[in-house]
A and B are shown apart, each in its own frame.
Chain A
Amino acid sequence: DGGITQSPKYLFRKEGQNVTLSCEQNLNHDAMYWYRQDPGQGLRLIYYSQIVNDFQKGDIAEGYSVSREKKESFPLTVTSAQKNPTAFYLCASSIGEGTDTQYFGPGTRLTVL
């Protein structure tokens, strides 16, 4: 089955710890994205990558970092510098050209205690 996977579904961390959220896709998509979703707000773009070994900051990149060493994988690290990390994190991918549709993974709900 082709798709996007994110793990774990729920993640708890203590304040001050870095944490890495995984995102894997086997759709052969070039582009991958990370969004954050908070209650009452639209999805906000954190980082995106249009091709392997390249990525760009989105609207709210501060306190986050990413890597894109493989086409299939786009992990997101939430660092201790992120002031309000508790949120629902969604990864998406798309073919990568023009107005193509983005497809989302199941999400990871991160709670920082």
Chain B
Amino acid sequence: GQNIDQPTEMTATEGAIVQINCTYQTSGFNGLFWYQQHAGEAPTFLSYNVLDGLEEKGRFSSFLSRSKGYSYLLLKELQMKDSASYLCAVRGDYKLSFGAGTTVTVRA
């Protein structure tokens, strides 16, 4: 079976840094994805990790440790538009399994 855990909510101040953790237990592992979803809209792709280490993409970075079943998404220089839900998804043997999402609220 698949089990993906991430915090339900996080709050941070504009300009700050927030780290969203994701732990997983899956049958098979073929990569981990992070998506951003604004309320009522489609999830949009942020990052993909399949090897251990850090992937940096502008203000967003994603880290993976396969041995620990752990990933995090790092959001730097937070902006108000970053207020959204962030979904961790793991590809197992044949499909993506999603965590429930972490709602990030950015305060001025």
Which of A's residues lie within 8 Å of B, judged by CB? 35, 40-45, 48, 58, 88, 90, 98-99, 101-107, 109
Contact = CB atoms under 8 A, between A and B. Distances in A.
Contacts of A48: 95
Contacts, number: 49
Interface of B: 4, 8, 30-31, 33, 35, 40-45, 48, 50, 87, 89, 91, 95-101
A41 B50 CA distance: 24
Nearest to B35: A104
Contacts of A105: 42
Given A40-B100, A42-B4, A107 B95 contact: no
A41 B96 CA distance: 14
Contact of A42 (B41, B45, B91, B101): B101
Please indicate which of the listed interface residues A40, A43, A45, A106 has the most CB atoms of chain B within 10 Å of its own CB: A43
B100 A102 contact: no
B95 A45 contact: yes
B100 A42 contact: yes
Given A40-B100, A42-B101, A101-B48, A106 B95 contact: no
Contacts of A45: 95-96
Nearest to B97: A42
Nearest to A48: B95
Please indicate which of the listed interface residues B50, B91, B96 has the most CB atoms of chain A within 10 Å of its own CB: B96
A103 B45 CA distance: 7
A41 B42 contact: no
A88 B41 CA distance: 10
Contacts of B41: 106-107
Contacts of B42: 90, 104-107
A42 B48 contact: no
B71 to A, nearest CB: 15
A105 B37 CA distance: 12
Contact of B91 (A40, A58, A99): A99
A44 B100 CA distance: 10
Nearest to B101: A42
A42 B98 contact: yes
